[in-house]
Amino acid sequence: MKLKLISRVQETFENAFATQIADFRTVHPEVEIECTYLPIHDHYEKMVANMGTESDEFDLFLCCTDWLPILMNNESISPLDEMIEMNPPHDWPNGWHKAMLGLQQRGGKVYGMPWHDGPEVFHYRTDLFNDTKEKADFLGRFGRELCPPRDWDEFIEVAKFFTRPEQGLWGCCEAGYTDGHNNVYDFLIHLWSRGGVLIDSNKEPQFDSAIGVEALQFYVDLFHRHKVASPDCLNLGSVECGNYYAQGNAAMMWNWCGFAAVSEMPEYSKIVGKNACASMPSGSAGAVSLNIYWVLTIPSGSRHKELAYSFLQHISSAKCDKMTSMSGANGVRLSTWNDPEVVAKYPYYSIIEGVHANTRTLPAIPEYPEINEAISRAVHRALHLEMGCEESLKIAAAETREILGRS
């Protein structure tokens, strides 16, 4: 018997699945599991935009929570309730933080099990921030102590201070590649931290407001005005940005907390033991992060749903969830977040619960993936200086109204 699993490309994801598959096959040696890994945008196009979930090509689909509303609305992924009732994962649902359980539910039905957690956190180089000479130089230049930035104004100061391209060091690195992922999320973090609104309660886009223009301009200015992020970052997705930071090319980064794990892996990182994580810098509305996570789902077209659920139930155990974290991805169980071995290897786990107290989620509406693409195009136009921020966002807002008007 063979199951086919599809996921986004990411080495830590691939390592975690390999370990979990091996563990599953100790119980089910007769089951072969074939894995396909695609770049994130190709993954979305194949399984969501082109409704690959409705074919019988795959039995297991690792799905970003952004994409769930349209799939749940169409029941293009299978509800798991009957199978959970018959054979629930251990300590279901109390073994998970509530932030890991809401986005994959609709109409009282559960459509997936959490597998990999965000959220986005602030990363900074302790070897630079704690260096005596750096601290003295910063104090002399800015008249205050060098510390992780508390707000976005301080962020710019610190980023300028550490930008030394002649030394191969930049103040920050960003995932500016146009893939509908971090290029959108980075804009939204700045929108929300300034008190902006993505879409209001009347389903009217508000991201093209003056606050939205300010937020996008801030992001653009990192590259083109302040020049604190390398131009290379315009071609880096979240994974590549995490690797770029781990190679010691930047002093700061905001990105998914899992990339703190990459920073601690000697095979990938030149800054082992030199990275720390904190909450995001604040805007006028406070410090805001993003809660997006990945769930393992069963496509509606699968011919092997019961066997697929057996795999899903098996790897949702505390033992296998810890494997996710020890492989460098992010486990989702409370037991993993508080496991002494996990925290000792990856200290950022000590802040995950606290960060979740200040996270936002994307609109849980079927139209959102298409809206996300419109915003991604807007950010691209601005980042690549093809159009001003205001004009570009106005186009995306008009596209959003058209998308919502069709529903």
Q: What is the pLDDT of residues 247-284, one digit of tens each?
A: 999 999 999 998 999 999 999 999 999 999 998 999 99
150-194 tens-digit pLDDT: 999 999 999 999 999 999 999 999 999 999 999 999 999 999 999
- The pLDDT tens digits for 379-401 are 999 999 999 999 999 999 999 99
pLDDT higher than 80, residue 407 = no
Residues in the chain, how many? 407
Residue 187 domain-assigned (yes or no): yes
Residues 126, 27, single domain; the answer is: no
Q: Are residues 276 and 341 in the same domain?
A: no
Name the pLDDT band for 246 (thresholds 50, 70, 90). very high
The tens digit of pLDDT for each residue in 72-110 reads: 999 999 999 999 999 999 999 999 999 999 999 999 999
Rounded-to-integer distance, Cα 25 and Cα 307, Å: 12
Q: Are 61 and 166 in a shared domain?
A: no
Query: Does the structure show a pLDDT above 70 at 119?
Result: yes
Say if residue 165 is in the same domain as residue 266: yes
* pLDDT tens readout for residues 12-24: 999 999 999 999 9
For the chain, what is the mean pLDDT? Answer: 96
Looking at the fold, whether 93 and 185 belong to one and the same domain comes out as no
Output the pLDDT for position 7. 98
Q: Residue 245 falls within a domain, yes or no?
A: yes
Q: Is residue 234 part of a domain?
A: yes
pLDDT of 31 over the 90 cut? yes
Domain match, 275 and 151 both: yes
* pLDDT (mean) for 191-207: 96
**Together in a domain, 131 and 98:** no
Residues 253 and 158 in one domain: yes
Q: Is residue 389 part of a domain?
A: no
Say if residue 342's pLDDT is above 90: yes
* pLDDT given at position 254: 96
Query: What pLDDT is attached to residue 59?
Result: 98
Cα–Cα distances in angstroms (integers) from residue 272 to residues 180, 183, 256, 258, 266, in the given order:
30, 27, 17, 14, 6
Q: Which domain holds residue 332?
A: 2-118+292-360
Identify whether residues 300 and 250 lie together within a single domain.
no
**In what helix (H) or strand (E) does residue 123 lie, and over which residues does it extend?**
strand 120-125
CATH number at residue 314: 3.40.190.10
Give residue 28's pLDDT band: very low, low, confident or very high (50, 70, 90).
very high
Residues 99 and 190 in one domain: no
Q: Could you read off the pLDDT of 309-327 as tens digits, one per residue?
A: 999 999 999 999 999 999 9
pLDDT classification of 357: cutoffs 50, 70, 90: confident
> Does one domain contain both 238 and 173?
yes
Counted domains in the chain: 2
